[in-house]
Structure 1
């Protein structure tokens, strides 16, 4: 088994862990696109909450700007070379409650369009041979690095958005063994030496 790639947390503030490989593998219910060990982080307020849930939340979509973490800084979790950077995709409405069911029914169409359609706006950082870190669902127009640039740990690379296959603003992180995501194998990750579980709040 390949040694896990240890990362820094790619953000400031409090974030809620979702779909952690500490709880199940594949973490997102599929092995497609080398996502077996992917993990999601949802930005929350000081009380550990995302956007408040109201009756309208259950029946209609919501603008991503309503969420406290939309636009929050996303940082490089590792030093390395930027090998891909995309921020041209639109931040779409958030889907919770009944709208999330309808949105789930269209996931196959997005998957058929390829990994980039699922990832939305993203940055890929190659840290060593056989290790590429993907930061996904970034805010449109927020990517602050370019292909060929060397980034340091903690450097801002973009902002949290709701692009790609995303029901609410969050950050999807996964590691791969090569730049070509379609052909890549997943690489296990840890954060500061451990792997948080689903439902755990992390960060300052």
Structure 2
């Protein structure tokens, strides 16, 4: 792990944070900083190096695409990864969490276009409107890892609790700025997303590119 010259309190901030995959089973990589930076097309809320993982079934697919799903919103529970366990990717202390946002419908096809047109409104509403339910873990060196779009009332940790990598945090949901159940992960230099800097991340075997299916054990 490399280190920058910036300090948070008494601990240096890592240039690249080495993480474990925050799940078991098969997940599809999307919006990876291995493909482009900023990975989500914006640096807003220190999201420059954020990455998304979509839970998929054994065949590598999410919910079957039908004519109806191209025209109408779909229940989030229809997707195979809805509620799948989200695990801590690093040892640390829970410094922030939110658990009360309801899961909204999933949007593909025409509904996804209509939903995209309202994204600026959600961005203007602030971090919570984008992240939805989330957990933030502060590591031993002061960096913070945020895991977002979690399932309504699924968080199994509390603020101030120490967690180990691999420990159950919550379920995968569809809250915040999300078109289908998935996990958004980003690393930042502090808990305040308005003032924090984005930190790059990596995983065992390197940073996966878009379209890579991770089969974590």
**Same-fold call, TM cutoff 0.5:** yes
Distance in 2, matches of 1:71 and 1:87, equals 13
Note the C-alpha offset of 1:54: 0.4
Unmatched runs of 5 consecutive residues or more in structure 1: none
Query: Aligned match of 1:111 in 99, 123, 143?
Result: 123
Note the C-alpha offset of 1:114: 0.6
- Provide the residue aligned with 1:40 in structure 2: 52
Q: Out of 106-115 and 135-144, give the one that drifted further.
A: 106-115
Distance in 1, matches of 2:191 and 2:48, equals 16
Note the C-alpha offset of 1:182: 1.1
Query: Aligned match of 1:23 in 28, 35, 58?
Result: 35
| Equivalent pairs, count | 204
TM-score by length of 1: 0.98
- Provide the residue aligned with 2:155 in structure 1: 143
TM-score by length of 2: 0.92
- Equivalent residue runs for 1:93-104 within 5 Å: 93-104=105-116
- CA offsets 1:41-91 (integer angstroms, 9 cap, x no match): 000000000000000111100000000000000000000000011110010
- Equivalent residue runs for 1:191-202 within 5 Å: 191-202=203-214
Once superposed, what is the RMSD of the aligned Cα atoms?
A: 0.9
Distance in 2, matches of 1:192 and 1:128, equals 19
- Provide the residue aligned with 2:200 in structure 1: 188
- Provide the residue aligned with 1:8 in structure 2: 20
Distance in 1, matches of 2:142 and 2:156, equals 24
Unmatched runs of 5 consecutive residues or more in structure 2: 5-13
Matched residue SS, 2:146: strand
Note the C-alpha offset of 1:107: 0.6
- CA offsets 1:113-135 (integer angstroms, 9 cap, x no match): 11111000000000033410000
Distance in 1, matches of 2:193 and 2:91, equals 20
- Provide the residue aligned with 2:132 in structure 1: 120
Distance in 2, matches of 1:130 and 1:202, equals 28
